Amino acid sequence: MSADSPVQTGGSLGERARSDDDRAAIASAHSLLARQRAAFGQNMNPSLDARLHDLEKLATLLLSNREAIASAISADFGNRSRHESLLAEVFVTLKGIRETQKALGGWMKPRARRLEWLFQPGRAEIIPQPLGVIGILSPWNYPVQLALAPLTAALAAGNRAMLKPSELTPKTSLLMKQLLSQAFSEDKVAVIVGGPLVGEAFAGLDFDHLIFTGSTRVGRLVMRAAAETLTPVTLELGGKSPVLIHDDAPLEDTALRVMTGKLFNAGQTCIAPDYALVPRGQRNAWAAAFRSAAMKLYPRLESNPDYTHIINDRQLARLRGALDEARAGGATVYEVNPAGEALAPSSRVLAPHVVVDAPLDGALMQDEIFGPILPVVPYDSFDDALGFINARPRPLALYSFGRSEARHQRVLRGTVAGGVTVNETLLHVGVDDLPFGGVGPSGMGRYHGQAGFDGLSQLKPVFHQYAPNATALLRPPFGRALEGLLKVLLR
């Protein structure tokens, strides 16, 4: 993604119209950035009360419009479970706001630091200071939570913010623009809507910090665009999050927990379990248990309001192509369709699938799946399982299931991942006092709770010197006093 890529012209009337809309959106983004910078210059350190008031407006927006939010997301997906939206979009975001409100006064206070004797008398402290204007590029899979959780951190830190939501959820994006414009002036919070060209230009704006949530591939492009203006970035990416199942893990309960995390939002979750490592001798039993768990969770599919659809035809075709490739490569592919429904292609419903022996060089084992498909990968020893994980790019999440605390500790100490949940899936992301973020190809930077506040603040180091003091010894012409001091310092 190049920040200075020209907006293409020509083509059909429809293409030209979109281009004109993009031009207008890009011009608006530049104008709004200038307005927000000017407004920030007039009030560079909002009070605690002002920040709490902004957060309360955000909380009220969520609560008052929760059904409209769920409906808009469902319309964008074709069907998105109302309960999933209320839990993952409204509740999780609201909980983050409430926890931030409780702790914000403490986060804003200067933080004293230890001072060595050499600098006495004096005082050292860190003062959190707002950065300015924060850019937020949010994705389609959780279009409200992954826009408003970063916004929570931005407002708590005293910043202003501009959001560019995904064009793949247009109804939700327009609803957010409408609701946020009612709650905030555009020089505090602004929403820019538009297609990829607008996102491209947005990533190249001279923000004080840019937060992007999306794929690793696009994350590289965003980072390249931000480099042109030396804008610091937080990249929340993805990758293949493994589930490591120990040989003493309880079969049915573990399978149910894994499939709950796998099939939430039809697997369209950046921290969804991406593949399950199971003991080789138990491979068939685990494959059967995963299928049984999926049947319990979703006894029917197309007519089930709880079962979320795939976001668009392109993603559906990609997932079906990956399944076809696995079959052609010798994998055993189990479709879980308990009611035997004839799933209409136009509905974008993809049944859960459990795949055994997927080719390691195929899409299911190379790419983030982002769908209701779980490959089952056998291992011979626990060391082999850890080696399998460590031979691959570092994941955004990792899950460890078993009864032995010693083995869980081996997993925690012997692997590197953005975050871990033990004996469950997904839940670490909901703990507000745990930083959320990736490592290596799965991302950089952290937010949620104080990590978000600190990441979007300038933690300004300050040293206060008092008189009298010994700094005169450090000025030329140097003499015997400094020689004596150096003998002490350089022991």
Instruction: Kindly tell me if the per-residue pLDDT of 205 is higher than 70.
Output: yes
At residue 373, the pLDDT reads 98
pLDDT mean over 417-432: 97
pLDDT mean over 137-163: 98
> Between the CA of residue 91 and those of 258, 398, 486, what are the distances in Å?
22, 24, 60
Residue 264 · residue 272 · CB < 8 Å: yes
Burial of 464: CB neighbours in 10 Å, binned 0-12, 13-18, 19+: exposed
Active site residues: 236, 270
Q: Which two tokens stand for residue 299?
A: 């006894």
Note if the pTM is more than 0.85.
yes
Burial of 182: CB neighbours in 10 Å, binned 0-12, 13-18, 19+: exposed
More confident residue, 247 or 11: 247
Sheet holding 133-137, edge to edge: 189-191, 160-164, 133-137, 209-213, 233-236, 443-444
Residue 121 · residue 464 · CB < 8 Å: no
CA 36/CA 51 separation, integer angstroms: 16
CA 290/CA 259 separation, integer angstroms: 7
- Residue 20's pLDDT band, with cuts at 50, 70 and 90, is confident
CA 347/CA 189 separation, integer angstroms: 36
| Residue pLDDT, tens place only, 301-334 | 998 999 999 999 999 999 999 999 999 999 999 9
| Residue pLDDT, tens place only, 210-241 | 999 999 999 999 999 999 999 999 999 989 99
At residue 3, the pLDDT reads 33
Q: Which of 240, 286, 282 is nearest to 259 (CA)?
A: 286
Residue 210 · residue 135 · CB < 8 Å: yes
Contacts of 451 (CB under 8 A, 6+ apart): 435, 436, 437
Show the domains of the chain with their CATH numbers.
13-237+444-459 (3.40.605.10), 242-437 (3.40.309.10)
DSSP state of 447: B
